[in-house]
Amino acid sequence: MKGGKLIIFSAPSGSGKTTIVRHLLKQSELNLAFSVSATSRPRRGKEKEGEHYYFITVSEFKQHIKKDDFLEWEEVYRDNFYGTLKSEVERLWAEGKNVIFDIDVAGGLRIKKKFPKETLAVFVKPPSVDELKIRLKKRSTESDDKINMRIAKASVELATAPQFDKVIKNYDLDTALNEAHELVAEFVGVNQTE
Ligand code: 5GP
């Protein structure tokens, strides 16, 4: 596999990485395209097939694992598999795009290991685990059980921050957005227009 740059945003659930990734995708000079992951978790609210995720069954997911179709995959939560299909990155590279990922910490580090030169791996740090809990509750897309599961995982994930190329503290959203924009612009080699 060969092509443009890979930009990874990883963070505990609720840290604001999705907001940051969406903001960056709007900056046309960065020439970014979103890597749509495959997942076996159920579709939430307004999520669209092929836009947010490729929604597949656990058995379809396991077939892809068998065929070695994934660049990386994780059982992020029990029976909720998430993975980056090699075909997805190949497709976006063929379009001449830099690929941006919103994936979990383990997956992010795995891609970084496979493509050390092409990858910028950014960790988004929430103000605190308590604040994370508040944000996840506000989002109210999941049950208390699922929120607690995400919080438990967050503490483990926070410890991996030093393994990333850069850490952005998302204490103030505008500051975090600017910082992310600057980092990515520098990495892909363009001057910022904003
Ligand atoms: P959610 O269920 O909130 O959409 O995602 C749960 C977690 O899975 C998030 O941390 C998200 O970034 C991560 N995730 C999404 N896609 C992938 C993927 O392809 N690979 C890995 N390893 N994690 C992913």
Are 40 and 56 within 8 A, CB to CB?
yes
Provide the sign of the torsion angle of the four alpha carbons 105, 107, 110, 115, taken in this order: negative
Token pair, residue 116, equals 């050390």
**Residuewise pLDDT in 10s, the chain (194 residues):** 566 899 999 998 888 899 999 999 999 999 999 999 999 999 999 999 999 999 999 999 999 999 999 999 999 888 899 999 999 999 999 999 999 999 999 999 999 999 999 999 999 998 888 888 888 888 777 788 888 888 888 888 999 999 999 999 999 999 999 999 999 999 999 875 54
Nearest-CA residue for atom 8 of ligand 1: 104
**127 three-state secondary structure:** coil
88 Cβ closer than 6 Å to some ligand 1 atom: no
74 Cβ closer than 6 Å to some ligand 1 atom: yes
Are 164 and 10 within 8 A, CB to CB?
yes
- How far, in Å, CA of 129 to CA of 153, rounded? 10
118 Cβ closer than 6 Å to some ligand 1 atom: no
Half-sphere exposure of residue 77, counting CA atoms within 13 Å on the CB side?
A: 17
Residue 82 Cα to ligand 1 middle (Å): 6
35 Cβ closer than 6 Å to some ligand 1 atom: no
**Strand residue runs (E) in the chain:** 6-10, 32-34, 37-39, 53-55, 70-77, 80-85, 98-102, 119-125, 166-169
Query: In testing the pocket of ligand 1, which one of 13, 36, 76, 141 has its CB within 8 Å of the most ligand atoms?
Result: 76
**Residue 97 assigned as binding residue:** no
- How far, in Å, CA of 89 to CA of 31, rounded? 14
**Residue 26 assigned as binding residue:** no
37 Cβ closer than 6 Å to some ligand 1 atom: yes
76 Cβ closer than 6 Å to some ligand 1 atom: yes
Give 12's DSSP letter. Answer: S
Give 163's DSSP letter. Answer: G
pTM higher than 0.95: no
Provide the sign of the torsion angle of the four alpha carbons 87, 110, 53, 10, taken in this order: negative
| CATH number of 6-188, picked from 3.40.50.300, 3.40.50.1100, 3.50.50.60, 3.30.1540.10 | 3.40.50.300
